[in-house]
């Protein structure tokens, strides 16, 4: 009797049949194990954008896009956002369990003791133009950490080496991010203070100056902590996959995280929160909403409703739900100035979600739709929104990198392709070359 946990592929050109095992996870979609697909069939599996591809198995995060469910090590994101704090969620993502009192204290102590940067690293900032996008600075500075934590002194495949990478990245990202912001302002760097919590310390480094300490309100500290939790990890998204692709070659983990920062920067990914605020400001008033909805539906127009749609969620992004609720409460408490923007966002959401195009394509608000409004309410400039996302997502990147590095059968990621280029042809001497297509439509200056 055939083993039922298999899938059979039939090549109708010659009626050859190929059988592949079906692997089951704890729950969620099963996978067809196609690792031997090429060796068995001589064909590659074609899936640009990886819409139907599971790149790995993982125990860290589970997303059910149809039901709008997000779990971290089995805990619902709604519960973690409401009842936990960011250091605890970091511990959970890294270790698989929420910490007890003792372990939480130890973990926070480790993070607290590594928040400062090597003084030489500070010199890297002055190499950037003052008007650089802070994400350009972050790609450079995070990458530079790999020269301060190099293979000469650490074996990052060992438990000790791994924890050095984990603890230094988690501890230093807020310091580096705050310094990128200060550098853009022309203000002096503010050093971390060990007596402050993770989120409070980050706000202190962002907004204190030598002339005066910034004492964030409890509501602001809590809002930032929730934002960090809600952006901490999200399965095999583009930036996490970038970190793991780089890490699969055994590259330095600090350099791998720098690659993740670069990938997150894109407007289709972590750069969307910045684009949402620009879009809301461009819409300006409720009367203009329909015009922009029509633009988003117009295939000839490249405009997309930023903060809407998701590769996985075909229902509400549960993080957007938490953020909307939280945004509403926060603005009442700390910043009525942004209430009109929030009102415009909720109206835009209401109209879009009742539009047949958005309903048919299952486009809902994602994590980026409301996060920008909270960040504005906290006093962050739009250019820093994705930097905050990068600070939050560092734990996701490094947890997923750690899980991959701990695998004994870890292979380098090396996809193949469908070749559609020229057939083999003889070399042509330059005198014989005719009608060569110009490289650029215009003239190269």
Active site residue 155: no
Considering only 243, 261, 262, 367, the residue that binds ligand SDX (CB under 6 A) is 367
Q: How far, in whole angstroms, is CA 93 from its chain's centroid?
A: 15
CA 118 to CA 171: how far, in whole Å?
A: 13
164 vs 395 by CB, closer to ligand SDX: 395
Question: Within 237-296, which residues bind ligand SDX (CB under 6 A)?
Answer: 237-238, 268-270, 272, 296
- Which one of 334, 368, 386, 392 is in contact with ligand SDX (CB under 6 A)? 368
Selecting among 85, 317, 335, 368, the annotated active-site residue is 368
Q: How far is the CB of 199 from ligand SDX (least distance, A)?
A: 19
Least gap, CB of 211 to ligand SDX (angstroms): 37
Nearer to ligand SDX, 108 or 257 (CB): 257
Number of residues this chain uses to bind ligand SDX (CB under 6 A)? 23
Return the percent helix, strand and coil in the chain, to nearest 5: 50, 5, 40
Residue closer to ligand SDX, measured from CB, 43 or 268: 268
Q: Which stretch binds ligand SDX (CB under 6 A): 26-34, 54-62, 84-92, 298-306?
A: 298-306
231, 310, 317, 335: the catalytic one is 310
Classify 243 as helix, strand or coil: helix
Shortest distance, position 48 Cβ to ligand SDX, whole Å: 10
Start-to-end C-alpha separation, the chain? 70
Sign of CA dihedral 254, 258, 263, 265: positive
Sheet holding 69-72, edge to edge: 61-64, 69-72, 75-76
**231 contacts 371 by C-beta, under 8 angstroms:** yes
Query: Quick one: tokens of 305?
Result: 């409703």
Binding pattern for the stretch 36-65 against ligand SDX, x by CB under 6 A and - elsewhere: -------------x----------------
Written as six digits, the tokens of 32 are: 């067809």
Selection from 26, 34, 58, 73 nearest residue 243 by Cα:
58
Return the residue nearest ligand SDX (CB atom).
Answer: 309
The span of 141-149, 338-346, 361-369, 377-385 binding ligand SDX (CB under 6 A) equals 361-369
Contacts of 346 (CB under 8 A, 6+ apart): 324
Candidates 363, 373, 387, 391; binder of ligand SDX (CB under 6 A) is 363
Size of the chain in residues? 445
Site string for ligand SDX, 7-36 (x = CB under 6 A): ------------------------------
Q: Which of residues 308-337 bind ligand SDX (CB under 6 A)?
A: 308-312
Query: Of 198 and 313, which CB lies nearer to ligand SDX in the complex structure?
Result: 313
- Structure tokens of 307? 């903060």
Under the binding rule (CB under 6 A), the answer on residue 307 touching ligand SDX is: yes
Least distance CB 70 / ligand SDX (angstroms):
9
Active site residue 310: yes
* CA atoms of 336 and 373, how far apart (whole Å): 11
Q: Are 18 and 41 in contact (CB under 8 A)?
A: yes
- Of the residues 89, 169, 305, 341, which one makes contact with ligand SDX according to CB under 6 A: 305
Contact 280, 286 (CB under 8 A): no
- What lies within 8 Å, CB to CB, of 152 at 6+ separation is none
87 binds ligand SDX per the rule CB under 6 A: no
Q: Fill in the DSSP letter of residue 308.
A: B
Q: Is residue 434 helix, strand or coil? A: coil
Q: Alpha-carbon distance 402 to 104, whole Å?
A: 20
> Which residues are annotated as catalytic?
310, 368
**Which positions touch ligand SDX (CB under 6 A)?**
49, 234, 237-238, 268-270, 272, 296, 304-312, 361, 363, 366-368
């Amino acid at each position: 009797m055939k083993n039922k946990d298999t899938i059979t592929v039939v090549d109708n050109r010659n009626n050859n049949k190929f059988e592949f095992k079906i692997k089951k996870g704890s729950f969620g979609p099963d996978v067809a194990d196609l690792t031997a697909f090429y060796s068995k069939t001589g064909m590659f599996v074609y899936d640009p954008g990886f819409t139907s591809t599971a790149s790995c198995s993982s125990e860290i995060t589970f997303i059910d896009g149809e039901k709008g469910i997000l779990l971290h090590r089995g805990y619902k994101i709604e519960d973690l956002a409401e009842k936990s704090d960011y250091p605890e969620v970091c511990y959970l993502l890294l270790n698989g369990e929420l910490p007890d009192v003792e372990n939480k204290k130890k973990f926070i102590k480790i993070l607290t003791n590594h928040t400062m940067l090597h003084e030489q690293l500070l010199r890297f900032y002055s190499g950037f133009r003052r008007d650089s996008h802070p994400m350009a600075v972050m790609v450079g500075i995070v990458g530079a950490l790999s020269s301060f934590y190099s293979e000469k002194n650490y074996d990052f495949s060992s438990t000790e080496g791994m924890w050095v990478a984990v603890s230094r990245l988690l501890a230093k990202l807020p310091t580096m991010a705050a310094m990128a912001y200060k550098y853009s302002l022309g203000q002096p760097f503010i050093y971390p203070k060990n007596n402050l919590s993770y989120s409070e310390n980050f706000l202190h480094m962002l907004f204190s100056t030598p002339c005066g300490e910034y004492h964030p309100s409890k509501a602001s500290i809590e809002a930032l902590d929730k934002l960090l939790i809600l952006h901490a990890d999200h399965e095999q998204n583009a930036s996490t996959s970038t970190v793991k692709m780089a890490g699969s070659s055994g590259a330095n983990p600090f350099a791998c995280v720098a690659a993740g920062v670069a990938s997150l920067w894109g407007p289709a990914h972590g750069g969307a929160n910045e684009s949402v605020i620009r879009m809301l400001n461009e819409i300006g008033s409720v009367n203009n909403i329909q015009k922009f909805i029509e633009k988003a539906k117009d295939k000839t127009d490249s405009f997309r409703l930023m903060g809407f749609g998701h590769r996985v969620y075909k229902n509400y992004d549960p993080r957007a739900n938490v953020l909307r609720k939280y945004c509403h409460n926060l603005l009442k408490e700390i910043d009525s100035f942004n209430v009109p923007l929030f009102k415009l966002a909720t109206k835009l959401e209401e109209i879009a979600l009742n539009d047949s195009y958005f309903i048919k394509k299952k486009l809902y608000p994602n994590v980026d739709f409301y996060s920008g409004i909270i960040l504005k309410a906290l006093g962050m400039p739009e250019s820093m929104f994705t930097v905050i996302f990068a600070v939050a997502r560092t734990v996701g990147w490094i947890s997923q990198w750690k899980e991959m590095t701990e695998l004994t059968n870890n292979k380098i990621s090396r996809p193949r392709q469908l070749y559609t280029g020229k057939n083999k042809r003889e070399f042509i001497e330059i005198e014989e070359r005719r009608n060569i297509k110009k490289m650029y439509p215009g003239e190269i200056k």
